[in-house]
Chains A and B, each alone.
Chain A
Amino acid sequence: MMHVPPWIWFAVIVLVSWGIVGILQKLSTNYLSVESALIWLVVGFLLMEPFLYPGRKLFSYSARSLAWALGCGLLNALGAWALLAAMKSGGKASIVAPLTALYPLIVVLAAPLVLHESITRLQGVGVFFALAAVALLST
């Protein structure tokens, strides 16, 4: 039987949910400005908070890990804001969208330094095709 890495099932959930988000984003911005859509999207995140609240366990984690977790939210929102700013300052969606879709490249370049992880040559080929796919699909 073919070996399937365990992360693939989680990746499928990400692909499907974020794939639907792409459609809803198109639809919601028919009725709202992009900024308002982003604000309400975060309100949607907030609706989930009571179900995710870890209680006292929150204080058992190291300060460093907590900072990483808060920082990843901040960077994600800053990235979304920069995307908005790029579109507003004259960037064409057909160029800005594929360009910004290349963010995994930063991870591929930084992972050996930051995470001490590297990829095999075959995975490198896969990453190349994936980056090409994201850029082409975002046009």
Chain B
Amino acid sequence: MPVIFKQKWFWYSILCVLCWGGWALLSKLGSTEISAETMQFLFTLGTLPVVLVLLAKKRFHCTESRKGISLALLNGVLSGVGGLALFAAYRTGGNTSVITTVTALYPMITVGLAVLFLRERLNRVQFIGLGCAAVAIAILSS
């Protein structure tokens, strides 16, 4: 049996993939009847049980830095805007696999912004990744 199968982190990663795959499928199923705004409203309520467990585990100590909190809050609002747009995309009736795959390409924007604003440098692997993303978008958006 390969060593990787005995690693806890591997199985947590698989659980993450399964959960996020399920999230996309349920998003599509819900979006066929429910508007994008209401989907985002209910989505947020759905996240609360996990966040409450996290909060309890941290004994409600999560206020390390005001700057960090402001950034994370802005993160939440922007994530919500993205979520709204994703639900709206599913509601158009487009192919779910294609929409999910194209929207999962957001790291290409992150990498581009990191180069522009954080002055990070692209490594060779990321450069090839950007090339693959360009090919994918050209094919899937046609």
The A-contacting residues of B in range 87-142, CB under 8 angstroms, are 88-90, 92, 94-114, 117-118, 123, 125-126, 128-133, 135-137, 139-142
Residues on B with beta carbons closer than 8 Å to the beta carbon of A14: 82, 85-86, 89, 103, 106
Q: Residues 1-42 of chain A: 1 if any B CB is under 8 Å from the residue's CB, otherwise 0? A: 011111110110111111111111111111111011111111
Contact indicator B68/A111 (Cβ below 8 Å): no
Given contacts A10-B86, A13-B85, contact A107 B50 (CB under 8 A): no
Contact-size category for A? 35 or more
Q: Which residues of the partner chain A approach B128 to less than 8 Å between Cβ atoms?
A: 136
Q: Do A38 and B12 touch (CB < 8 A)?
A: no
B109 and A36 within 8 A (CB): no
Interface string of A37-79 (1 = CB under 8 A from B): 1111111111111001110011001100110111111111111
How many residues of chain B are within 8 Å of chain A by beta carbon? 109
Nearest chain A CB to B37 CB, angstrom units: 5
- The prevalent SS among residues of A at the interface is helix
B37 CB contacts on chain A under 8 angstroms: 52, 54
Q: Could you tell me the distance between the alpha carbons of A43 and B96 in the complex, rounded to whole angstroms?
A: 28
Within 8 A of A (CB), among B1-36: 7-10, 12-13, 15-30, 32-35
Residues of chain A within 8 A (CB-CB) of B99 are 7, 11
Q: Known contacts A7-B94, A103-B20, A117-B96: does B75 contact A96 (CB below 8 Å)?
A: no
Which of B's residues lie within 8 Å of A, judged by CB?
7-10, 12-13, 15-30, 32-35, 37-51, 54-55, 57-58, 62-65, 67-69, 71-82, 85-86, 88-90, 92, 94-114, 117-118, 123, 125-126, 128-133, 135-137, 139-142
- New contact pairs (14) apart from A28-B72, A44-B77, A76-B23, CB-CB < 8 Å: A5-B92, A6-B94, A16-B109, A30-B68, A39-B58, A52-B37, A61-B33, A82-B12, A83-B12, A86-B16, A99-B13, A115-B96, A126-B135, A130-B136
